[in-house]
Amino acid sequence: MTQTVAAIYENGMLKLSAPLPLPDKSHVTVTVESELMVAEDAEREHWLNASKEALTKTWDNSADDVFNELLPR
């Protein structure tokens, strides 16, 4: 079963906004996604796209096709 719940990180512990329907001492896997991480991911995605556009413009330059004729076959 997968369930997403909000929590607050305070003093080294996650405090859930609501109790979970689990028995005590249940083993769970926690995935953390903070607002800060989401913002950093968005900024990283922006720079990756900007780099991709710049590299594509540089490497897909038809004016450079003349140099392909100089390459050994």
The domain spans of the chain are 32-61
pLDDT digit string, tens, across residues 21-54:
899 999 999 888 777 766 777 788 888 888 998 8
**What is the Cα–Cα distance from 51 to 22, expressed in whole angstroms?**
46
Cα angle at 63 between 54 and 69, to 5 degrees? 120
Of residues 25, 20, 23, 22, the one with CA closest to residue 4: 20
Q: Enter the DSSP assignment of 63.
A: G
pLDDT value at residue 10? 93
Residue 38: its pLDDT value, please?
66
Note the pLDDT of residue 16.
92
Q: What is the DSSP letter of 24?
A: T
pLDDT of residue 71: 79
